[in-house]
Structure 1
Amino acid sequence: MSGETHAIGQDDAAYHAQYDTDYKVGQDNVKIIGFDIHNPVFGISAGLILLFIVATLLFPSEAKTGLTNARGWSIENFDWLFMIGCNVFVLFCIALILLPVGKVRLGGATATPDFSRLSWFAMLFAAGMGIGLMFWSVAEPVAYYTDWYGTPLNATARTPSGADAALGATMYHWGLHPWAIYGVVALSLAFFSYNKGLPLTIRSAFYPLLGERCWGVAGHIIDILAVLATIFGLATSLGLGAQQAAGGLNYLFGIDNSISTQLGVIVIVTAIALVSVSRGLEGGVKILSNINMLLAASMIAIIIVVGPTLAIFGAMGTVLTNYVTDIIPLSNWVGREDTTWFHGWTVFYWAWWVSWSPFVGMFIARVSRGRTVREFLIAVLLIPTLVTVFWMGVMGGTAIEQASNGIGELANGIGDVSLAMFLMFDNLPLTSLLSFMGIVLVMVFFITSADSGSLVIDSITAGGKTDAPMPQRLFWATLVGIIAGTLLVGGGSEALTALQAGAITTGLPFTVVLIVMCFSLYRGLKQDVHLY
C-alpha cells in the first residue's frame, strides 16, 4: 500500500519510504466461533476489561477514591496542558479551513460521500454530544447562575450579568473546543486511512512517526487504550444515564427509581442498540440519528412557541455575544481567580472530551469519506457550534428565565442534575408532552451512542476491518450494557464514578498524543495538496 504522491521538497524515495507498508488489514486476525478478531488487541482488551470490573466490584470505595484522586491530580497539576492543547486544536482546525490543504479530499480527488449532508450531520451530532446537551443545557447555566460550584470569571451570582456569564460559559464548554478535539482525531484517522491506505484504527494516525512499529507492540498498546477508553466511557454514560432516565420516570410517572428500573432502562437501550448494530450504518445509526434530529427539532419548536418566546430569542443573542466576548478570558489559564469553577468545570470538561476523542473521532472518520478537509471541518467545527448556540438559547435561556424570576424549583438552584430538564418542563404548558419527548430523546441518544461506539470498538478489535462478522458487533454492544448493569448492581454510583474518573484520567496522556497528531496530519496534508 504505497503513497501515490510526491511530498513537497522530497524525492520519490523519501516520500514512499515514509508511507510504504506491507501491512494488510486483518493479517493478524484469528477466526474463532464466528469472530474475526485482531490478535492480540481483542484478547488483551477483553481481559483488562474483565479485570477492571472484578476489581471495582470487589473494592468500589477504594477504586473510587484512588481513581478520583488520580483525576484530581491530573486536573490540578496539568490544567495548563489541557488548556494549551485544546486552544491549539481550535486554532489548528481553523487554520486548515483557511489554508490550501482545505481542498484535499478524504479518499482522493474522485471520492464521493457515502451519506447525504443532513444524515451525515445528524450522525456527527448524535455521536458527539447529543445526550449531554439534553441535561446540561438546562442544569449547567442554572448551576453557574446560582453559584452551585463557583461562577465563571467570578461573575456575581443571581444578577443579570451573572446570567449572561452563565450562558456564555456553558456555550464555551459545548462549542468550538470539544468539536476541535473530535475534529483533529477524526480528520487524522480519515486521511491516513482513506488517502494513505492504512487500516481504520487509531494506530494508523501515528504511522508517519512510528513507521512499521505501528503493527507491533506500540500499535497494539495504542489500540488497546482506545478500546478501554471507549468502552469505559460508554458504560459510564449508559449507567449514569440509566439513573437519570429512571429519575425522570419517577418524577413524571411515580415509577420507583430503583436498581430494577435502572436495569430495565439499560436492557431496553441495549436491546434496541443490538437491533440497530445488526442493521449497520445505513439501516441503524443513520436512521436513529435522523429520528433524533427530528424529535429534537420538534421539541425545541414547541418550547419556543409555548415558552417565553421573546426571552428565548434574546437569550440566543446573549449566548452568542457572551461566547465571543468571553472565549479568550475563559481560555486563559494564567492568574485565574475562579480556580474552583475553572478546575471543576472547564478543565474537567476538556479532559472528558479528550478521553472520548478516540471513540467519537473514529466514528466521525468512518462516516466522512468523500468530504474535503474544508467541508469536513466546517461541518464538524462550525455548524455544531451554531446549532448549539440556538439550542442553548432555547433550553438555557428558558431555564435562566425561570430561575431569575423565581419560577419553580430551578429558582432554588440545582439539586438532582438528572431532573433539571423535567423541572423546567414542569413550568411550561404541554408539560407531559415535552417530558415524554425528553425521555424518548434521552433513550434514543443513548442507543445511538451505544450503537456507534460498538461499531468503533468492533473495527479496532478487528484490525481495521469495517465488515467484521455480525456476532462480533453484537458482542461489543452487549458488553457495554453488561458492564453498566453489573457496576450498577455491584457498586452503584461509587463504581460508576470510579469508572468515569478512570476514563477522564486518560485525557492527560491523550492530550499530548493529539498535539503530536496535529503535526503528523499537517505534514501528510501538505504532501497531497498539489493534487487538487
Structure 2
Amino acid sequence: MDRLARRLGLRTDPHIFFWSAGLMVVFLVLLLSFQQPIGDAFGAGREWITTNLGWFFILGVTSWLVFLIWVATSRYGNLRLGKDGDRPAYSNLSWFAMLFAGGIGTVLMFWGVAEPISHFASPPFAGVEPYSVEASQDAMGISLYHLGLHTWAIFTLPGLAFGYFIYRYDLPMRVSSVFYPFLKEKIHGPIGKTIDVFAVLGTLFGVAVSLGLGTSQINAGLTALTGVPDAVWPKVLIITTLTAVATASIVAGLDKGVRRLSNLNILMAVGLMLFVLIAGDTVFLLRQLIESIGIYAGDIVPLSFWNDSMAQFTDEGGWGWQAGWTVFYWAWTVTWAPFMGVFLARISRGRTIRQFVGGVLVAPAAFTLVWFVVFGWSAMEIDGIGGSGGPISAAVADSVPLAMFAFFDQFPAATLVSGIAVVVVALFFATSSDSASLVVDMLCSGDGEAGPVRQRVFWGLSEGLLAASLIVLGGEAGLAALQEVITVIGLPIFLLVFAMMFALIVGLRRERVPKPVEAPARHQTAEPRPAQESPPRAGSQT
C-alpha cells in the first residue's frame, strides 16, 4: 500500500485511504447489484433499531447536551483548543458562516416549511386537532427541538473532542485521536486505523443522504419552474452537475473555496428569510418570534425525554411517530459527527472551550429558531390556523420536497423567488460536499492542511457517486429509502460519539487547571498537559 500511494502521488495514510476507498466501492457495487435484497435488509434493520433502541438515541443526545452545558460553564471552559497563546484564525462572522453552511443549511432549506406543516396537518400527540392553534404550537416546538440545540449538540461534542485532543495533545487529525485516553499508542495501530476507516465510511454515507435530500428538493423546484419530471434520472443528472461544481470548490481549498461559498450562501439564505418576513405578515411573525422562544423553552425538557412509549398500544407494526422523525434525525445527524467534528476543530483552533460551545451550540440554534419562525409560522398561517388545511399541506402530502416551492407560490414574484431558492439549495449542496471532501481527506492523512488536489477530488467524486447510488437504490420510494439506510449506518457511529464524551471527561480530569484566584488563565504561558502523563508522539504519516 505504501508503494502504491507513492506511485499515485498521494500524501495520506495508505491503509486508511485504500481500505476506505475499497470498502466504499464494494458497498456501491452491492447497492447497485442487489437493490431489492439490500433495500429489504436496510428496512428490517431500521425497524429493529427504532423498535428496540429508539429510546437510546433520544436519551443519548439529551445527555450530550447536558454534558456540553456543564463543561462550558465549568472551570474547564477557559481552556483553549490549542496552546494558550493561540488565537482564532477566522473572524466570528466567517466562522459562523462556515459552520452553518457546512452543517445544516441544506436541512433548513428542506425542512423549514415541510416539518412544521407536517406536524400541523398530522399532530403526533393524541387528542390534538389538525390545523388547530394547539397543533401549530406543538408543530413549532417539535421542529425547534429537532433542529435546535439537540442537533447542534451532536456536532459540538465531537468538534470539542477533536479540538481538545488534536491541538492540546499534538495528535493527528483523525477520529482515533479522540480515544487516546483509552488506547494510548494503539491509536497509531490497527485498532486506531479501523476506527478511522469506519468514520470515513460513515461520513460518506451521511453526506450522501443529505445530498440526496438536497437533490430531491432541487428536482422538485425545477419541476415547479420548468416542468422537468420529478424522477430518478433527473436527480442523478443534478447530482452529477453539482458534484462538478463542488469539485471546483474543492480544488480552491478551505480558505478560498469553502469560505467564499459559505459567505455567499448564508447571505442568500438570509435574503430569502428577510423577503418572507417583509412580504408576509410581519407583525404576526415578530410577535411569534418572541412567543416561540417561550414555546421552545417550555417544550424542550419534556420533548428531550419523550419516547413515544405508548405507541405500541395505538400503532400497528411500528414504534410510532418518532421512528420516522426523531430517531431518523438523530441517526442521520450523527453520521455527520466525524465530518463536522474535524471541520469545526479545523476552523476553531485558538478558541476557548466556552467560546467554542457557545458559538457552535447556541448561535446556530438561535438562527434556526428565527428561520423556523419566519418560514414555519408563515406556512401555517397561509394554510389557515383553525381551518382545515391549504395548498402547502396538500403539497407536503403529495411530495415533501415540494413544500418550499408551494410556499413561495403564495408570495409575489413566486417564480423568481423559487429560482433563487433552487440556487441557494444548490450552493448548500456544493458547500456540504466540498467541506466533507476536505475533511475526509484530513481523516485519512491525519494532517490539518489540505492534501494533494487529486485526493480531495477523489473524495468529492465519491460522495456524488454514492449519493446518486442511494437515489437509484431508493427509486420512487426516495426519502423513505434514505431514512432506512441512514438509521442503520447511524447506530454504530452513535456509539462512537457516546464514547467521545467519556474520553473528554478523562482528558479534562487530567488537566492542571489553576483556580482563577491563584493563576488567571491569561497569565499562563506553558501549554497545560494531563497530569502524570507524558506527551504522546504525533503519529506517523505517509
TM-score above 0.5: yes
Counterpart of 1:270 in structure 2 is: 243
Pick closer, same or farther for the CA change 1:198–1:128 going to 2, 3 Å.
Answer: same
Q: Hey, what's the Cα distance between the residues in 1 that align with 2:168 and 2:2?
A: 20
Counterpart of 2:391 in structure 1 is: 409
Alignment deviations for residues 369-410 of structure 1 (CA, whole Å, 9 cap, x no partner): 111100000011111111111111001011111122567512
Counterpart of 1:124 in structure 2 is: 99
Counterpart of 1:77 in structure 2 is: 52
Pick closer, same or farther for the CA change 1:153–1:81 going to 2, 3 Å.
Answer: farther
How big is the shift at 1:442?
A: 0.2
Gaps of 5+ in 1: 1-25
Pick closer, same or farther for the CA change 1:154–1:204 going to 2, 3 Å.
Answer: farther
Pick closer, same or farther for the CA change 1:334–1:246 going to 2, 3 Å.
Answer: closer
How big is the shift at 1:259?
A: 4.3
Counterpart of 1:11 in structure 2 is: none
Q: 327, 347, 353: which is aligned to 1:373?
A: 353
**Deviates further, 413-422 or 446-455:** 413-422
Give the alignment of 1:314-329 within 5 angstroms. Answer: 314-329=287-302
Give the alignment of 1:206-355 within 5 angstroms. Answer: 206-333=179-306, 336-337=309-310, 340-355=320-335
> 8 Å contact 1:93–1:377 — kept in the other structure?
yes
How big is the shift at 1:328?
A: 1.6
Q: Hey, what's the Cα distance between the residues in 2 that align with 1:152 and 1:177?
A: 21
Counterpart of 2:513 in structure 1 is: 529
Q: Hey, what's the Cα distance between the residues in 2 that align with 1:77 and 1:499?
A: 20
Q: Hey, what's the Cα distance between the residues in 2 that align with 1:307 and 1:505?
A: 41
Q: Hey, what's the Cα distance between the residues in 1 that align with 2:205 and 2:292?
A: 33
Please give the secondary structure, in 1, of the residue aligned with 2:12: strand
Identity over aligned pairs, percent:
38
Please give the secondary structure, in 2, of the residue aligned with 1:512: helix
Q: Hey, what's the Cα distance between the residues in 2 that align with 1:494 and 1:457?
A: 29
Q: 88, 112, 119: which is aligned to 1:113?
A: 88
Alignment deviations for residues 397-449 of structure 1 (CA, whole Å, 9 cap, x no partner): 11111122567512435321111000011011121232122111100000000
> 8 Å contact 1:425–1:434 — kept in the other structure?
yes
> 8 Å contact 1:139–1:414 — kept in the other structure?
no
Q: Hey, what's the Cα distance between the residues in 2 that align with 1:28 and 1:463?
A: 19
Counterpart of 1:515 in structure 2 is: 498
How big is the shift at 1:240?
A: 3.6
Q: 441, 460, 467: which is aligned to 2:450?
A: 467
Counterpart of 1:19 in structure 2 is: none
Number of residue pairs matched by the alignment: 505
Question: Which one-letter code corresponds to 2:467 in the other structure?
Answer: A
Question: Which one-letter code corresponds to 2:206 in the other structure?
Answer: G
Pick closer, same or farther for the CA change 1:334–1:417 going to 2, 3 Å.
Answer: closer
Pick closer, same or farther for the CA change 1:231–1:159 going to 2, 3 Å.
Answer: same
Q: Hey, what's the Cα distance between the residues in 1 that align with 2:352 and 2:10?
A: 35
Alignment deviations for residues 49-74 of structure 1 (CA, whole Å, 9 cap, x no partner): 11111111111121111012112211
Pick closer, same or farther for the CA change 1:207–1:306 going to 2, 3 Å.
Answer: same
Q: Hey, what's the Cα distance between the residues in 2 that align with 1:170 and 1:34?
A: 47
Question: Which one-letter code corresponds to 1:305 in the other structure?
Answer: I
Counterpart of 1:186 in structure 2 is: 159
Alignment deviations for residues 180-236 of structure 1 (CA, whole Å, 9 cap, x no partner): 111110010011111110001100000111111111121111111111111112223
Q: Hey, what's the Cα distance between the residues in 1 that align with 2:478 and 2:141?
A: 33
> 8 Å contact 1:368–1:376 — kept in the other structure?
yes
Counterpart of 2:532 in structure 1 is: none
**Deviates further, 247-256 or 116-125:** 247-256
Counterpart of 1:477 in structure 2 is: 460
Gaps of 5+ in 2: 312-318, 522-542
Counterpart of 1:400 in structure 2 is: 380
Q: Hey, what's the Cα distance between the residues in 2 that align with 1:279 and 1:54?
A: 31
> 8 Å contact 1:307–1:429 — kept in the other structure?
no
How big is the shift at 1:121?
A: 0.5
Pick closer, same or farther for the CA change 1:458–1:197 going to 2, 3 Å.
Answer: same
How big is the shift at 1:261?
A: 2.9
Pick closer, same or farther for the CA change 1:275–1:403 going to 2, 3 Å.
Answer: same
**Deviates further, 256-265 or 268-277:** 256-265
How big is the shift at 1:323?
A: 1.2
How big is the shift at 1:324?
A: 1.0
Q: Hey, what's the Cα distance between the residues in 2 that align with 1:64 and 1:56?
A: 8
**Deviates further, 65-74 or 201-210:** 65-74
How big is the shift at 1:37?
A: 2.9
> 8 Å contact 1:42–1:461 — kept in the other structure?
yes
**Deviates further, 440-449 or 68-77:** 68-77
How big is the shift at 1:521?
A: 1.1
How big is the shift at 1:344?
A: 2.2
Give the TM-score taking structure 1 as reference length: 0.90
Please give the secondary structure, in 1, of the residue aligned with 2:397: coil
Give the alignment of 1:189-200 within 5 angstroms. Answer: 189-200=162-173
> 8 Å contact 1:111–1:369 — kept in the other structure?
yes
Matched, 1:46 2:21: yes
Question: Which one-letter code corresponds to 1:291 in the other structure?
Answer: L
Q: Hey, what's the Cα distance between the residues in 1 that align with 2:469 and 2:85?
A: 48
Alignment deviations for residues 65-113 of structure 1 (CA, whole Å, 9 cap, x no partner): 1012112211211122112211111111111121110000111110011
Counterpart of 2:525 in structure 1 is: none
Q: Hey, what's the Cα distance between the residues in 1 that align with 2:399 and 2:150?
A: 27
How big is the shift at 1:465?
A: 5.0
Root mean square deviation of aligned Cα: 2.3
Pick closer, same or farther for the CA change 1:483–1:509 going to 2, 3 Å.
Answer: closer
How big is the shift at 1:512?
A: 2.9
